[in-house]
A and B are shown apart, each in its own frame.
Chain A
Amino acid sequence: MNSDRLAPWAAYCVVGVGALIMLAPFYFMFVFATHSRTEIFSLPPPMFFGDDFLNNLKILTERMPFWRNLGWSLYVALASTALTLLFCSMGGYAFALFDFKFKNALFGLVMGTMLLPSFMNMIPTFMIMDALGWIDQPKALYIPGAASAFGIFLMRQFVTSSIPRDLIEAARMDGCSEVGIYARIVLPLLKPALGTLGLITFIASWNNFIGPLIVMRSPDMYTLPLALRSLQSPVNTEWGALMTGSAIATLPLVVLFVLSSRQLISGLTAGAVK
């Protein structure tokens, strides 16, 4: 057989089967979310949707303050997105279009921390939050989160490539104030990059586990990932309810991803591809 004609079909099969394997766990997460614990652990395991979703949700809300935990996740994610967008757009703009003392050294330092392993800050962060009295307070999550090196990188990159220095100079000549230039010229032009950074920040905060694990100590203050993990125990884990909770934690991400996958993928790999 002609290998040139065979090759594309082999590629379609390999890539297609691989894609199904990638998506299968999501499918089963949503399927299991609609089954009771006994059904999940029976032979053969359920392959299609069942009718225990509401019952699982009931168990979930009885075992933990589920809606409250969900609310904290949402609140922290929104707050950290808002702060990150504001601070990183300001900082990225300054790095891109101004000249000032120690600019390159400071930018190098910020970029250097991007490569730093996340466990390095785990212990001192706990101690700082403890000293500040911020344990069990959502601001312990969204305020440090706003100092995003990645956000600075992304914003600087975008300002450099899409906002000409001349435009800023012209506005300055016309008597526009510095704050006015940022608010009326830079911010509107940054919209696409703000969208990307906003999505990435929201998702990272929503998924964050180590952060809340360190600073959120009482179940009433848990974010969703912590709450879900607390439901897991060596004996008598309510698997149906746990799957329902996991599915609810995953669904918004799947929706966001389907709506904006191209933007998200290019944003998340921006550091690599440039």
Chain B
Amino acid sequence: MKLPAALRLSPTLAPYVFLSPFVILFAVFGVFPLAFSLYLAFQSWEPTSGLGAMEFVGLSNYAFALQDEWFWKSLKNTAWLALASGVPQHLVAIPLAVFIHTSFKRLRNGVVGAYFMPYITSTVAIAILFSSLFSTDYGLINVGINVLSQVPVLGGLMPANPVDWLNDPDNIKPAIAMIVFWRYVGFNVVLYLAALQTIPADIYEAATMDGAGRLQQFFHITLPSLKPMIFFGVTLSVIGGLQLFEEPFILTGGRGGSDQSGMTAAIYLYRMAFDFNDFGAASAMSWLLFILVAALTWATNRAFAPRKGTA
């Protein structure tokens, strides 16, 4: 089928035509919302009163957010959760990836798949399942703790009474952190496995010849070689941890839990908009949170980036 010459795309025009569907959607649903949210953060507005009822209020939404006790509390919760779920992910994923890399050949894909599977499943389904597993009287996790507490030595470490995971303000955060850890550790294992494959085997052979043991090799060859990936993985965990929403949202019934102890910043800004109808304050909070994410990403970058001359 030949088109008439007038209808045929010229090679100079073609890229614009090919890009336009994506670019139009990207502009309308990707870039414009950001600009609009920046605008909204300086306005006072309630959704019931129509778009015309917006009123410029300067920085007062930001001032409100910064003086809001619950906003600070949600930030603290988020930081706690990001650290408590993020740090163990890497501490476990690195040795795990090393074990898989050195000792698994044929079963490797199956094993990696098992660790990765939580990452691709529905957070909602998972959070619902865990809210039953964490139930105080009959939940499988407390039943497991109870069984372990009968074991000598180990039993002494276990709590004597059933743990009220989801209603006690002190326990909800560890419960959420456990789910997040379970969900993302496999993703990190895959990252580290990919990085391990790029380390040349002859470095290890040379080290073995020189009499370096496994631990020495791990600390002097493996770990330094993994540094760029550790930086990348930690950055992803920081960005991901600070936007934690779905797991705590489901586990706390969308409200943030007793004493708001499971309320992350993302949940709070959702509630600020959709439960408390303050879209301006919610937008201001989202920008404050964005600045925090950007600053922390930058700081992780600084902390892990190879210094000039050593790399």
Which residues of A are at the interface with B, using a C-beta cutoff of 8 A?
3-4, 7-8, 11-12, 14-16, 18-19, 21-23, 25-26, 28-29, 32, 40-45, 86-88, 90-91, 93-95, 98-100, 103, 106, 109-110, 113, 115-128, 130-131, 143-144, 146-147, 149, 152, 172, 177-179, 182, 203, 206-207, 209-210, 214, 224-226, 228-229, 232-234, 239, 242-243, 246-247, 249-250, 253-254, 257-258, 261-262, 264-265, 268-269, 272-273
Interchain CB contact under 8 A, A106 and B121: no
* Interface flag for B219 (CB, 8 Å): no
Interchain CB contact under 8 A, B117 and A257: yes
- Contacting residues, chain B, for A177 (C-beta < 8 A): 2-3, 8-9
Interchain CB contact under 8 A, A15 and B31: no
Alpha-carbon distance between A44 and B138 when the two chains are bound, in angstroms: 8
* Interface flag for B293 (CB, 8 Å): yes
Decide yes or no: A94 and B18 within 8 Å by CB, A119-B269, A124-B34 being known contacts.
yes
Binds A, one of B169-177, B199-207, B237-245: B237-245
Interchain CB contact under 8 A, A126 and B273: yes
Decide yes or no: A269 and B194 within 8 Å by CB, A128-B29, A253-B120, A257-B120 being known contacts.
yes
CB distance from A174 to the nearest CB of B (A): 12
Decide yes or no: A25 and B122 within 8 Å by CB, A3-B214, A88-B22, A91-B19 being known contacts.
no
Interchain CB contact under 8 A, A273 and B283: no
The chain A residue sitting closest to B19, CB to CB, is: A94
The chain A residue sitting closest to B194, CB to CB, is: A273
Interchain CB contact under 8 A, A119 and B286: yes
Alpha-carbon distance between A110 and B253 when the two chains are bound, in angstroms: 35
Interchain CB contact under 8 A, A122 and B269: yes
Interchain CB contact under 8 A, A23 and B114: yes
- Contacting residues, chain B, for A178 (C-beta < 8 A): 8-11, 14, 17
- Contacting residues, chain A, for B229 (C-beta < 8 A): 272
The chain B residue sitting closest to A8, CB to CB, is: B103
Binds A, one of B64-72, B125-133, B148-156: B125-133
- Contacting residues, chain B, for A40 (C-beta < 8 A): 132, 138
* Interface flag for B56 (CB, 8 Å): no
Interchain CB contact under 8 A, B143 and A43: yes
Which of B11, B40, B111 lies in contact with A124, CB distance below 8 A? Answer: B40
Alpha-carbon distance between A110 and B19 when the two chains are bound, in angstroms: 12
Interchain CB contact under 8 A, A254 and B8: no
Within 8 A of A (CB), among B237-258: 239, 242-243, 245-246, 249-250, 253-254
Main secondary structure of the interface of B (DSSP, over half): helix
CB distance from B104 to the nearest CB of A (A): 7
- Contacting residues, chain B, for A11 (C-beta < 8 A): 99-100, 102-104
Alpha-carbon distance between A179 and B135 when the two chains are bound, in angstroms: 58
Which of A18, A26, A127, A209 lies in contact with B246, CB distance below 8 A? Answer: A209
Identify 24 residue pairs between A and B in the complex whose beta-carbon atoms are under 8 Å apart, listed by A's number: A7-B103, A15-B104, A16-B111, A25-B133, A25-B182, A29-B129, A45-B140, A45-B143, A87-B25, A98-B15, A98-B18, A117-B243, A122-B273, A125-B29, A128-B32, A147-B30, A239-B132, A242-B128, A246-B122, A250-B122, A254-B117, A254-B121, A268-B120, A272-B194
The chain A residue sitting closest to B242, CB to CB, is: A117
Binds A, one of B83-91, B184-192, B303-311: B184-192
Alpha-carbon distance between A243 and B135 when the two chains are bound, in angstroms: 14
* Interface flag for B160 (CB, 8 Å): no
- Contacting residues, chain B, for A250 (C-beta < 8 A): 121-122, 125
* Interface flag for B289 (CB, 8 Å): yes
* Interface flag for B112 (CB, 8 Å): yes
Known: A131-B51, A253-B122. 5 other contacts (CB 8 A): A124-B37, A130-B47, A177-B2, A178-B10, A179-B3
Interchain CB contact under 8 A, B137 and A41: yes
Alpha-carbon distance between A209 and B269 when the two chains are bound, in angstroms: 16
Interchain CB contact under 8 A, B96 and A15: yes
Within 8 A of A (CB), among B104-118: 104, 109, 111-118
* Interface flag for B270 (CB, 8 Å): yes
The chain A residue sitting closest to B3, CB to CB, is: A177
CB distance from A150 to the nearest CB of B (A): 12
CB distance from B195 to the nearest CB of A (A): 8
Interchain CB contact under 8 A, B243 and A207: no
Which of B19, B187, B239, B270 lies in contact with A117, CB distance below 8 A? Answer: B239
Across the A-B interface, the 6 shortest Cβ-Cβ residue pairs: A124-B33, A98-B15, A144-B29, A147-B25, A91-B22, A246-B125
Interchain CB contact under 8 A, A87 and B21: yes
Alpha-carbon distance between A116 and B143 when the two chains are bound, in angstroms: 41
The chain B residue sitting closest to A24, CB to CB, is: B140
* Interface flag for B44 (CB, 8 Å): no
Interchain CB contact under 8 A, A19 and B19: no
Alpha-carbon distance between A7 and B138 when the two chains are bound, in angstroms: 38
Interchain CB contact under 8 A, B100 and A123: no
Interchain CB contact under 8 A, A15 and B125: no
* Interface flag for B232 (CB, 8 Å): yes
The chain A residue sitting closest to B35, CB to CB, is: A124
